[in-house]
Amino acid sequence: MDFEHESDDPFRDDEDDPDAHLSLEKESTKEYVVYLVDASPKMFTSTCPASADDQKEESHFHIALSCISQSLKNQIINRSYDELAICFFNTREKRNIQELSGVFVFNVPERDYLDRPTARLIKEFDRIEESFAKDIGSQDGIVPGTRENSLYNAIWVAQALLRKGSAKTVDKRVLLFTNEDDPFGCIKGAIKSDMKRMTLQRAKDAQDLGISIELLPLSHPSDPFNVSQFYAELIGLEEDELADFMPSSGNKLEDMKDQLRKRMFKKRIVKKLKFIIVDGISIELNSYALIRPTVPGAITWLDSVTNQPLKSERTFICADTGALVEESTKRFHPYKNQNIVFSTKELSEIKRFSTGHLHLLGFKPLSCLRDYYNLKPSTFLYPSDEAMDGSICIFIALHRSMIQLKRFAVAFYGGSSRPQLVALIAQDEIIQSGGQIEPPGMHMISLPYSDDIRLVEERHSEKVGMVTRASNDQIKKAADVIKRIDLKDFSICQFANPGLQRHYAVLQALALEEDEIPEIKDETLPDEEGLARPGVVKALEEFKTSVYGENYDEECEANAKPSEASKKRKAQAEVATKECENYDWGELADTGKLKDLTVVELKYYLTAHNLPVSGKKEALVSRILTHMKK
Amino acid sequence: MANKEALVLLLDVGPSMHSVIPVIEKLCSMLVQKKLIYNRHDKVGVVLFGTKETCNELTLELGGYRHVVVLKNLKDVDGDMVEALQKLPRGTKDGDFLDAIVVGMDMLIKMYPKANKVKKRLCLITNAQCPIKESIEGTKEEQVTTIAKQMSVHGTRMESIIVRGKLCRKKANKSTASENHRLLNIFSKETSTRIVYVGNPVSLFGALKTQNKTPHTVFRGDLELSSKMKIKVWVYKKTIEELPNLKKCYESPDIVVPSDQRVRGYHYGPQIVPMSKVALDAVKFKPEKGVKLLGFTNSSNVLRHYYMKDVNIFIPEPENTNAMLALSALARAMKEMNKVAILRCVWRRGQTKVVIGGLIPNISDKENIPDSFYFNVLPFAEDVREFQFPSFSKLPAVLQPNQQQLEAAANLVEMLDLAPCGKEKALLPDFTPNPVLERFYRCLELKSKNPGAAVPPIDETLKKITEPDSNLVLKNKSVIDSFRRCFEPNENPRHKKLRRLLLEKSSSSEEDCNRDITPLPSNLIKVKVDSVCNPTPPQVFEAMSGSRNTQDSVVKAIKDTRNKIFELIDESNDGDNYPEALQCLTALQEKCIVDQESEQFNNFLRRLWNFDRNLQNFRGYLASRGLTLIPKAGFLDSQVTEEDEPKVE
């Protein structure tokens, strides 16, 4: 796959590569999550529409389960080092370390209650609804007359599950799914306030231990979930946060998944930066990677027979003496017929300018930021007052001025891997239907140097007077096309990466031993139907006639001037096909005489059959054999 | 080699150029260095004009062409040439650039009489302030036109780098300058000539380029607006990171398990799922090669920070007028309507990757360059992480800037201007060289002569890239001062987190401590900055003595503080860090006295004075604040005698 890449070059090591970062700090950025799912009868009887255009209603219990299942499938691919437990409360059966009633921890063999997700967990969890009534059972845990408190028990169990790991290095979270906004509604009098107090205290104890409790409420449009009834206090919502808590949520399945996904993403600071604005005034910024290419996980090489992982070992052998060397710390660059050797220290000295700081150089109008000034994904900056008071204040003041004056800042970033000029663009907050689409802050864009910019246009510039520009009429025709094929609501989150999705689907199918690989819809293909609409076709036709003329023949154009290279390639293929016929390949293969042929001869076969011709002789032979199915 | 280049450098070394010759020396020697690395078989010749002497073939053959010296005849690049370019002679006469151009062309034509595959290139660096000689027959214009036509016939390209503005000491004669400008423009019209005007040393440094690798097309074929309407395009990389490619000194041996006995495994939770190449090939995503239009959208929907990678450029298939027209119409319509086209691209056959990107019109303002498009890759849904950040408006009022502060900030943003109207824009990426590369090449040259040579310091000219321009700062002193006044000093005295960090560090093993103070490897620089960046040491000490007052932690704290002080002084600009450094020193002194570590402190202070000869200021500052060595008399363990006291002038 094209996704693989290796960066061994010291000038290429990218320190703010979030994935490299992740693997470095696996420990400190781990996350432990307990999914706490209400299994009371009300969860089974209440429903809400599955999706906007679907009339089918689904039970709240089902919605919670499919959300979790979806998130598990994502987690196992993206963040499989994070650990989780799934725990139901208001159950008939009990299973937990403390032997508390009404709480059931779901698990599969070869796995602790709180552990990394496994294929088996996902597989059995997907089937849990079939056997739920039989094995676990739904039963209200808070009923008048008893002092049983299943919610209290549930939080206690969750807390016990999250006992392992230090709060310093692990984020511990409880995600609570319920549709009961008033869990103690059926209890009266002093007992009620008593139970309420105890439950809140239990939650507070957990929070004091560094566990955050988050609520994912389910409700029906006609019967909204009232957070202020009880849960606001439990999860510690402030008065002014109440309004934002349930943004326009009809609690459809999609919304719920979306909410869960958003909450599952944990902000991770890539780096803390000191931004020197003028002499004597600097502020602290945190950098975040909001946009980074996602790639399939790392490859582990396995022995093809045993499927055991292969250990990768590196020994360095001195090219001169053949002796084993401890480690390769030196590198060389050929120059003037000699190899100039650099030590790692010298290389980092070459790259050292102003250590790790961001130094403001000045401002320019946004129109100066050309569209080809780009090399890699941007990095997001948000101020922090942690180390330096006033950082936020100064940042906001600059941010506002930059937006008003339509200017961006130019700064020098003395990062240790690649010191570079950067553009800082102030981004105003964008909120759409209650959600933050673009957070407020600045985007840091690495600018190319003159060495990085190629003069392609100049290289292909034409001789005098050869360039023709479109006429106004042609431009108008083009404008018609543009109006017709308009993506009004285009958003960058619109397309899933089909290659990646396919890879995940294959991986999941293999791991869960599913028979079929689910078909992935390639969302990136053009909308053929839309393009076939008469209006669009007509506009395109007119544009075509206007720029290409009436009697334009594509075939003729295509065949008119095949390039030198393609001519050559074609000629070669012809020769190869001809030569290829002179051999009895089947015979040669059967008698094992292929290896007696020369590489040139082997390549006749490969070229004639349109196969790659790269590799050593053995590779060529085996490729031929594979192709002949022998 | 088909892509060999023959380049003649035409350098003006007349008196008015003397101030910029040092930059030209660096620029040209680096060009030859790059050729030594990437295009060793290219030929370079060097012609100087404005010299006192005259030395060229034309003057022998035809007479005239005075004050033009062929410093190096066209030959394969070598180290000798690098050295020659590093010490160019200074001339004493006003140079005639036209003479130099003719001499250069003559060299190229004599070496390559036929228009063969060698790329012929002239590169003129001058300030074009001296008039060219009147010609014997016809006007100057006619003369230039004839020469330009000749150049065109021989397929020679020319680049003119014209130095102007502040870089020229001498008051330019306006009429001469405009005449020369007009004459040079004739070249630009008649031939493929690039004229570049540079007004500061940094952009002069970045103005001359050499192609390290022949660019290959990323894609050649149809830009499909629909299945019926297609435009023939070529796609190239417009930007690509230029980095040296160093190899490891030691090779790792052959892999024990041969590739056909290995199989890829991907993690699925704790399990590893094997995926054989055959299986993978059978099921993997195989999109069809092609570049297809999805639609157009408002450019406001494609924000600048979505751009993911280096940039591609779509140009019309060369010599295809239809394609040129179609792209031109599309680009101009899109520009007018402020639209971006969204494309789906699979560049090569058999590629398993699809990219989505935005096609952005690039309207050409040059007569001989067709309209084209830039293409930026945009993220997929998986690539975007939706982190939420607090709205600025919802932050507490104390964090909000007041009116005065807003004005100060607005003034700064307005006045600290790198792109003043009507003047040359500073730090234009197209003319800003990479200071790391420059330093690398310089280091390479030094090491080629002496393998043990130390890494040279950053080039003075290029400091304008890494640090604010002092002229600009000086010009806007009042704006900057009022900005500084408006935002009070911002050190946070209650730096809890950092304190905790330091505590954790101090409790770590002795080995760690030692490693922390070893100077400089790059990976530690980060640690160092993170850890001792901003605590005020008194707090650090308090925190330490408060909880774990072990011997080690004290030693560690002293070391930390020492590092911090070195760093402060190192970074100090006009003494602005001195008060803070003094505070650290005082705290350290106190601590050392209490812990009977006076010797440590005194040693440190002595070292500090030797740290940098320019530290006189700091010594003076310390003395004026009464900080000295811990005297022996007062404290039992100190061994200072009177002579040891620093003598402060």
C-alpha angle B97-B99-B101 in degrees, rounded to nearest 5: 70
Q: Which residues of A are catalytic?
A: 26
pLDDT of residue A173: 87
Does A565 contact chain B (CB < 8 Å)? Answer: no
Does the pLDDT value for residue B509 go beyond 50? no
Q: Say what percent of chain B tops pLDDT 90.
A: 8
What are the tens digits of pLDDT across the range A206-264?
888 888 888 888 877 777 788 888 888 888 777 666 666 664 444 445 655 655 555 45
Does the pLDDT value for residue B260 go beyond 70? no
Domains A27-264 and A271-294+351-452 equal at CATH topology level: no
Does the pLDDT value for residue B321 go beyond 80? yes
Q: Which residues pair with B355 in a beta bridge?
A: B345
Mean pLDDT of chain A: 79
In the block, tokens 């502020």 appear at: A283
pLDDT of residue B182: 81
Residue environment code for A152-181, b if the CB has 16+ CB neighbours within 10 A, otherwise e: bbbbbbbbbbbeebeeeebbbbbbbbbbbb
With a cut of 0.90, is the ipTM above it?
no
In the block, tokens 């990479």 appear at: B434
Closest by CA position to B237, among listed A1, A91, A372, A440:
A372
Q: Are strands B43-49 and B262-268 parallel, antiparallel or unpaired?
A: unpaired
Q: Residue B426 CB: number of other CB atoms within 10 A?
A: 23
Which of A1, A369, A393 faces B400 most closely, judged by CB atoms? Answer: A393
Chain B residue whose CA is closest to A365: B419
How many residues make up chain B in this entry? 649
The burial of A598, by beta-carbon neighbours within 10 Å (0-12 exposed, 13-18 middle, 19 or more buried), is given as: exposed
pLDDT of residue B375: 94
Which of A314, A396, A416 faces B526 most closely, judged by CB atoms? Answer: A416
Mean pLDDT of chain B: 76
Does the pLDDT value for residue A487 go beyond 60? yes
- Residue A309 identity: P
pLDDT of residue B441: 86
From chain A, pick out residues whose CB is under 8 angstroms from the CB of B81: none
Closest by CA position to B527, among listed A119, A351, A272:
A272
Does the pLDDT value for residue B297 go beyond 80? yes
Does the pLDDT value for residue B360 go beyond 90? yes
The answer to whether A381 touches A285, Cβ cutoff 8 Å, is yes
What are the tens digits of pLDDT across the range A365-393?
998 899 999 999 999 999 888 777 788 88
The mean pLDDT of A54-69, rounded to a whole number, is 81
Contact B264 A301 (CB under 8 A): yes
The mean pLDDT of B71-83, rounded to a whole number, is 85
From chain B, pick out residues whose CB is under 8 angstroms from the CB of A554: 230
From chain A, pick out residues whose CB is under 8 angstroms from the CB of B303: 427, 438
pLDDT of residue B227: 83
Banded pLDDT at B258 (limits 50, 70, 90)? low
* R_g (Cα) of chain B, nearest Å: 32
Between CA B64 and CA B61 the distance in angstroms is 9
Does the pLDDT value for residue A1 go beyond 60? no
The mean pLDDT of A421-446, rounded to a whole number, is 87
Closest by CA position to A424, among listed A459, A378, A375:
A378
Rounded to 5 degrees, what are φ and ψ at B439?
Answer: -65, -35
Does the pLDDT value for residue B359 go beyond 90? yes
> Residues with Cβ < 8 Å from B445, sequence gap 6 or more?
A335, B29, B33, B82
Which of B228, B249, B489 faces A332 most closely, judged by CB atoms? Answer: B249
Q: Are strands A299-303 and B5-12 parallel, antiparallel or unpaired?
A: unpaired
Structural domain spans, chain A:
27-264, 271-294+351-452, 472-494+522-558, 562-627
pLDDT of residue B638: 41
Judge: domain A27-264, CATH 3.30.300.30.
no
Tokens found for residue A147 = 């002092």
Does B300 contact chain A (CB < 8 Å)? Answer: no
What is the signed CA dihedral for B163, B166, B170, B171, rounded to 10 degrees? 100
pLDDT of residue B341: 92
DSSP A385: -
What are the tens digits of pLDDT across the range A292-344?
887 776 677 777 667 677 666 555 565 566 665 555 567 888 887 788 888 77
Instruction: Give how far Cα B72 sits from Cα of A567, B50, B55, B77, B209, Å.
Output: 42, 16, 11, 10, 20
pLDDT of residue A90: 92
Does A42 contact chain B (CB < 8 Å)? Answer: no
Q: Say what percent of chain A tops pLDDT 90.
A: 13
pLDDT of residue B523: 36
Closest by CA position to B455, among listed B442, B464, B466, B467:
B442
Tokens found for residue B254 = 């052959």
- Residue B416 identity: L
Contact A485 B295 (CB under 8 A): yes
A with B: how many residue pairs have Cβ under 8 Å apart? 660
Residue environment code for B350-365, b if the CB has 16+ CB neighbours within 10 A, otherwise e: ebbbbbbbbbbbbebe
Does A109 contact chain B (CB < 8 Å)? Answer: no
Closest approach of A11 to chain B, Cα-based (Å): 7
> Residues with Cβ < 8 Å from B341, sequence gap 6 or more?
B293, B295, B296, B330, B334, B358, B359, B373
What are the tens digits of pLDDT across the range B203-213?
888 888 776 67
Q: Which of B336-345, B397-406, B640-649 is the least confident region?
A: B640-649
DSSP A453: B
Does the pLDDT value for residue A17 go beyond 80? no
Of the two residues B437 and A169, the one the predictor is more confident about is: B437
Contact A507 B301 (CB under 8 A): no
The mean pLDDT of B417-443, rounded to a whole number, is 84
pLDDT of residue B162: 86
DSSP A458: H
Angle at which helix B551-571 crosses helix B537-547, to 10 degrees, equals 170
Tokens found for residue A607 = 């070229």
Task: Out of A499-508, B127-136, B349-358, give the one with best mean pLDDT.
Answer: B349-358
Does A344 contact chain B (CB < 8 Å)? Answer: yes
pLDDT of residue B634: 40
Which of A479, A485, A494 faces B333 most closely, judged by CB atoms? Answer: A479
Q: Is A35 helix (H, G, I), strand (E, B) or coil?
A: strand
pLDDT of residue B519: 36
Tokens found for residue A489 = 């609501």
Q: Which of B39, B227, B259, B305 to mutate to test the interface with A (most CBs of A within 10 A)?
A: B305
Q: Residue B338 CB: number of other CB atoms within 10 A?
A: 10
The CA-to-CA distance between both ends of chain B, in Å, stands at: 66
> Residues with Cβ < 8 Å from A348, sequence gap 6 or more?
A10, A416, B520, B521, B522, B525
What is the signed CA dihedral for B515, B520, B525, B527, rounded to 10 degrees? 10
Q: Are strands A435-438 and A441-446 parallel, antiparallel or unpaired?
A: unpaired
Between CA A291 and CA A302 the distance in angstroms is 32
Which of A373, A445, A510 faces B305 most closely, judged by CB atoms? Answer: A445
Does A209 contact chain B (CB < 8 Å)? Answer: no
The answer to whether A470 touches B362, Cβ cutoff 8 Å, is no
CATH no. of A271-294+351-452: 2.40.290.10
Q: Which of A40-49, B222-231, B362-371, B553-562 is the least confident region?
A: B553-562
Q: Which of A182-186, B145-149, B511-515 is the least confident region?
A: B511-515
Instruction: Give how far Cα B510 sits from Cα of B516, B554, B558, B566, Å.
Output: 10, 12, 14, 22
Closest by CA position to B386, among listed A295, A32, A496, A261:
A261
Contact B525 A80 (CB under 8 A): no
> Residues with Cβ < 8 Å from A197, sequence gap 6 or more?
none
Contact B297 A333 (CB under 8 A): no
The mean pLDDT of B164-178, rounded to a whole number, is 67
Contact A524 B356 (CB under 8 A): yes
Q: Which residues pair with A58 in a beta bridge?
A: A48
The answer to whether B157 touches B122, Cβ cutoff 8 Å, is yes
Banded pLDDT at A10 (limits 50, 70, 90)? low
Task: Out of A43-57, A213-227, B491-505, give the one with best mean pLDDT.
Answer: A213-227
The answer to whether A9 touches B246, Cβ cutoff 8 Å, is yes
Q: Are strands B372-378 and B355-362 parallel, antiparallel or unpaired?
A: antiparallel
Tokens found for residue A121 = 């967990």
Of the two residues A152 and A519, the one the predictor is more confident about is: A152
Does the pLDDT value for residue A564 go beyond 90? no
Instruction: Give how far Cα A327 sits from Cα of A108, A343, A351, A353, B402, Å.
Output: 44, 12, 22, 27, 57
What are the tens digits of pLDDT across the range A311-322?
665 555 655 666
pLDDT of residue B361: 93
What are the tens digits of pLDDT across the range B578-607?
777 777 777 777 766 666 666 667 777 776
Closest approach of B342 to chain A, Cα-based (Å): 9
The answer to whether B294 touches B226, Cβ cutoff 8 Å, is no
